[in-house]
Copies of this chain bind each other. A is one copy, B any other.
Amino acid sequence: MSFPNPSPRGRPRDGARESAILDAVLAEVAEVGYEQVTIEAVARRAGASKATIYRRWNGKRDLVVAAVSAHQGGELAPVDTGTLRGDLLVLCQRLVATLASTHGSLILALLQGSARDPQLGDLIEQGAGQTGARLPDAVLRRAVERGELPATATTYAFDEVAGSVLIVRALVGAPMDDTYLTHLIDTILLPALRHESDERPPGPARFASAVL
């Protein structure tokens, strides 16, 4: 057993303040967008002081990242349409919905934030499956059992491609309707998933898509 903080001297931080501030951040981001969020407005809305905010976070990016990290969405129903193609479409639709509900600049902030703060990636990674950015193992397994994919198939191709492509399309405002998604699945995702290989994915275990 370890005592990293043997005795936290002084008045302890008020967790309620932290919650109020992070809630205010999310509300502000939703209303005016990431770039237009100001610390002053967050402080006003949270009934907190700027000093309290700056005591805990270094600036806007830190703050927003913390707010998003703390905001864990509820569980989503598992995906199982009976075909791999149908499952992929549902996952992509979820991803599009997530991207559409979030201001683009917030995504950028998170992407950049995760470059600095590995913890951010860790935190978001847990929720990544929820967003559709990760191919659930169950979906992969069932596809293999149905014979739609070879036994050596991995989630790599989906994890690597789907999130990145849709993020960029969201940023540039390109359409992401079902026609497009179907084309993406048929001409890129499925061919890549079906590719037989015994290679293991290189580099760190976490994929770029994890930030969603």
Q: How far is the CA of A116 from the CA of B179 in the complex (A)?
A: 23
Segment of A75-83, A84-92, A189-197 engaged in the interface with chain B: A189-197
> Per DSSP, are chain A's interface residues mostly helix, strand or loop, or mixed?
helix
Q: How far is the CA of A159 from the CA of B197 in the complex (A)?
A: 23
Q: In angstroms, how far is the closest chain B Cβ from the Cβ of A120?
A: 10
Partner-B contacts on A (CB < 8 A): 104-105, 108, 111-112, 114-116, 121, 156-157, 160-161, 163-165, 167-169, 171-175, 179-180, 183-184, 186-188, 190-192, 194-195, 197, 199, 201-204, 206-209, 211
Contact of A202 among B180, B188, B197 (CB under 8 A): B180
Chain B nearest CB, measured from A78 CB (Å): 26
Number of copies: 4
Contact A175/B163 with A168-B111, A197-B187, A208-B168 known, Cβ cut-off 8 Å: no
User: CA of A201 to CA of B206 in the docked complex: distance in angstroms?
Assistant: 30
CB atoms of B199 and A192 under 8 A apart: no
